Structure 1
């Protein structure tokens, strides 16, 4: 099982991660930054968000 987390201080709101996430658990929050809108534990561990984010805002960890 994997869990995704976002360092929102690093996120610039480009939205690339939202479009790229195959699990569909990422979205944009009201403040214009990425956020986990689904269950963080639904993360597939593919690290597409990590590879897509230009600001290195994502961490995927095995739990």
Structure 2
């Protein structure tokens, strides 16, 4: 199981991670990316981490 975290201070709201997430668990809330779906659906693919230009996304294996 994986847990995605998005640092709101680093997020500039570009939406790249939201568009790239194959699990569809990320969304835009108040112009910032957030986990809006079930965290348990995260596949641990790190697409969000690689795609984010501001290094706001991080992934942790639980």
TM above 0.5: yes
Corresponding residue of 1:49: 48
Q: CA RMSD in A?
A: 0.7
Q: Deviations over 1:8-62 (max 9, x none)?
A: 1000000011110000000000x20000000222210000000000000011110
Conservation of the 8 A alpha-carbon contact between 1:23 and 1:44: yes
Equivalenced residue count is: 62
Q: Which runs of 5+ in 2 are unaligned?
A: none
Tell me which stretches of 4 or more aligned residues in structure 1 moved more than 6 Å: none
Matched, 1:61 2:60: yes
